[in-house]
Amino acid sequence: MLGQITAAKGAVTAFWETPSPAVMRQYNSAKSALPRAISEANAFIAKANAMSATLSAHGITLTVPAPVK
């Protein structure tokens, strides 16, 4: 997902002219996939928070980032 967004951003900002239909398809594809990727990342972060609590009972620290907004 990050690669798709980076490629689309690079393709859009690399030229001074109107983006081609192929670049716009790439952009729209990345844009539509982003909410699902964020949702999946937040679900993973929630599981990591639970694991962090379990690990801390055994003296192991797991630092979990804040959920993506």
- Domain residue ranges of the chain, discontinuous segments joined by +: 2-56
Question: What pTM did the predictor assign?
Answer: 0.67
Question: pLDDT tens digits, residue range 21-51?
Answer: 988 898 899 899 999 999 999 999 999 999 9
Give yes or no for residue 12 having a pLDDT over 80. no
Would you state the pLDDT for residue 23?
82
Please report the DSSP string for 43-61 in residue order: HHHHHHHHHHHHHHTTT--
Give yes or no for residue 8 having a pLDDT over 90. no
Would you state the pLDDT for residue 48?
96
Taking 3-state DSSP, the helix, strand and coil percentages for the chain, each rounded to the nearest 5, stand at 70, 0, 30
